Structure 1
Amino acid sequence: KPFDATELLARLRAMLRRAVGRSSPVIAHGDLVVDPASHTVLRAGEAVPLGGKEFALLMALLQARPQVLSKARLESSLYGFGEALESNAIEVHIHHLRRKLGESLIKTVRGVGYFVPQQDPPA
């Protein structure tokens, strides 16, 4: 039976959100609010424009927090098979995210990968 690929992807994303226990697609991390449905990012209430790869990288890091994601894993989640990829593409996207969202958001584990630390609960 024919199907629409965008509909299938939307249904898969919804199933993944439910599996994680997050019915709302909005991800909040400190003063950072990311809405995947509208592709918007707010930092301290101010809109932050991100490119497609930057947004996808931020989503991968936020969804996996506080787990460290290797460069290879990030590359495979951002780029399709056979898609041209520069050797430092992930580092460039991380640099742009840090410049736009602040240096303290994304941490580096040298030789391993990148992660977003878990927020401390409010006291």
Structure 2
Amino acid sequence: MALDGKEIAVSRREFAILHALAERPGHVLSRSQLEDRIYGWQEEIESNAVEVHIHKLRAKLGRTRIETVRGDPSR
């Protein structure tokens, strides 16, 4: 993956998160929606796995590229 002309290495799961977010720009995806996209059926999921992947992505891409929305986004 490239950002501003520089190659950036991302894991398979980090790429899956980016792909899911890029498919729905401007929309909020829940943690469970992201888990469904990055983990296979019957695969064990750590409780904070999505947050860890997002943290790593922010470290690689910059803190402002992925926004976290807490609570119910429809309120």
TM-score by length of 1: 0.57
Cα RMSD for the two superposed structures: 1.2
More strand by share: 1
C-alpha separation in 2, matches of 1:50 and 1:111: 28
Provide Cα deviations, 1:21-63, integer angstroms capped at 9, x if missing partner.
xxxxxxxxxxxxxxxxxxxx11110000001000111111111
**1:112 Cα deviation from its structure 2 partner:** 4.5
Q: Which runs of 4+ in 1 moved over 4 A?
A: none
- Aligned residues, how many? 73
Q: 1:59 maps to which residue? A: 19
Q: Which runs of 5+ in 1 are unaligned?
A: 1-40, 114-123
Q: 1:1-123 counterparts in 2 under 5 A?
A: 41-112=1-72
Q: Which runs of 5+ in 2 are unaligned?
A: none
SS at 1:69 equivalent: coil
Which of these two proteins has the greater Rg computed from alpha carbons? 1
Identical aligned residues as a percent: 47
